């Protein structure tokens, strides 16, 4: 599955009030792996950023003066996002701004071009109820290195969110082997073997394997906030 981790920076907090997108950062995942096929643009928003917004992202109005306008890149952005599943932290905010930009250039809302949206903020609130679930807080909790994040930046934040998402969903990979596109005209032959004549050896794990197993269980337990079945069974 193709997924795009997306983040924006804006001139302020209100898309309906006239605030605009000034930066878009996208990181591509395919089969839960980073591909390096990322997308990153700065835009001339045709207005100045609010003072509070400048303190958050640090992108000056002067820097954006010669950047392209969103309308010039809208088709390229939509081609890149086409049919992908989006992963966004506090998705309503970013989608609201993207929809407003698309509306300005006569395009349909974003949902018409993508396969779906995952909101990692909603996921985090369910996994870690009552805790702070900002991107920085999740990085700290899930041991994602965010030491280079002194200011918000769309591409950097998308890269961090990709790591956070992978950690939050660890253990959800399919446990079955995909047989691939086997020819439909092949005939399956079933051979029955009598195993009663065999004595099957029991292989026990060594100390190193047991330690690695316990370490993996601890990581899964941490990622799920202590909700794993084995911990609940132990508590009972």
120 and 33 assigned to the same domain: yes
**Mean per-residue pLDDT for 59-76?**
97
Q: How confident is the model at residue 174 (pLDDT cuts 50, 70, 90)?
A: very low
Q: Report how far apart, in Å, the C-alpha atoms of 185 and of each of 170, 182, 189 are.
A: 37, 9, 13
84 and 144 assigned to the same domain: yes
Whether residue 173 is contained in a domain is answered as: no
Alpha-carbon torsion, ordered 58, 61, 65, 67, to 10 deg: 30
Q: Which residue has the tokens 């000034």?
A: 22
The span from the CA of 91 to the CA of 165, in Å, is: 14
> Burial of 224 by CB count in 10 Å (0-12 exposed, 13-18 middle, 19+ buried)?
middle
The span from the CA of 38 to the CA of 100, in Å, is: 23
Measured over the CA atoms of residue 199, residue 200, residue 206 and residue 210, the dihedral's sign is: negative
Q: How many CA atoms are closer than 13 Å to the CA of 68, on its beta-carbon side?
A: 10
Q: Token digits for 110?
A: 């974003």
Q: pLDDT tens digits for 187-236?
A: 545 555 565 666 667 778 888 888 888 877 777 777 767 667 766 776 66
Q: Is the pLDDT of residue 182 over 50?
A: no
Is position 50 annotated as part of the catalytic site? no
Q: Is the pLDDT of residue 74 over 90?
A: yes
Indicate the number of domains in the chain: 2
Report which secondary-structure segment, H or E, holds 116.
strand 116-119
Q: pLDDT tens digits for 17-32?
A: 999 999 999 999 999 9
Q: Which residue has the tokens 């050896």?
A: 201
Please tell me the pTM assigned to this model.
Answer: 0.71
43 and 98 assigned to the same domain: yes
Whether residue 54 is contained in a domain is answered as: yes
Q: What single string gives the DSSP state of each residue in 43-89?
A: ---SSPPPHHHHHHH---HHHHTTSPPHHHHHHHHHHHHTTPEEEET
Whether residue 138 is contained in a domain is answered as: yes
Whether residue 185 is contained in a domain is answered as: no
pLDDT number for residue 146? 84
19 and 64 assigned to the same domain: yes
Whether residue 118 is contained in a domain is answered as: yes
Catalytic residue among 50, 89, 152, 213: 152
105 and 146 assigned to the same domain: yes
Residues 6+ apart with CB under 8 A from 132: none
Q: For residue 76, what are the domain limits?
A: 2-168
Taking the CB of residue 93, how many other CB atoms lie within 10 A of it? Answer: 17
Q: What is the CATH number of the domain that holds 107?
A: 3.30.420.10
Q: Checking DSSP bridges between strand 33-34 and strand 21-30, what pairing results, if any?
A: antiparallel
Find how far residue 199's CA is from the centre of its chain: 48
């Amino acid at each position: 599955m193709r997924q795009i981790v997306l983040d924006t920076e804006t001139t302020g907090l209100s898309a309906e009030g006239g605030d605009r997108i000034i930066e878009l950062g996208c990181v591509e995942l395919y089969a839960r792996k980073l591909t390096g096929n990322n997308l990153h643009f700065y835009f001339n928003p045709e207005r100045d950023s609010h003072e509070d917004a400048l303190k958050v992202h640090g992108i000056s109005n002067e820097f954006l003066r010669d950047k392209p306008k969103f309308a010039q890149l809208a088709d390229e952005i939509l081609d890149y996002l086409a049919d992908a599943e989006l992963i966004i932290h506090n998705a309503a905010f970013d989608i609201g701004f993207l929809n407003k930009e698309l509306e300005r250039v006569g395009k349909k809302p974003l949902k018409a071009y993508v396969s779906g949206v995952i909101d990692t903020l909603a996921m985090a609130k369910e996994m870690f109820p009552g805790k702070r679930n900002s991107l920085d807080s999740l990085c700290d909790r899930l041991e994602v290195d965010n030491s280079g994040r002194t200011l918000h930046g769309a591409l950097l934040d998308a890269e961090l969110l990709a790591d956070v998402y992978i950690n939050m969903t660890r253990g959800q990979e399919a446990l079955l082997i995909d047989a691939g596109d086997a020819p439909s005209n092949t005939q399956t032959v079933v051979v029955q073997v009598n195993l009663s004549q065999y004595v099957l050896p029991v292989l026990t794990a060594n100390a190193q394997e047991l330690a690695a197993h316990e370490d993996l269980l601890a990581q899964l337990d941490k990622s799920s906030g202590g909700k794993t079945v084995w911990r609940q069974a132990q508590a009972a």
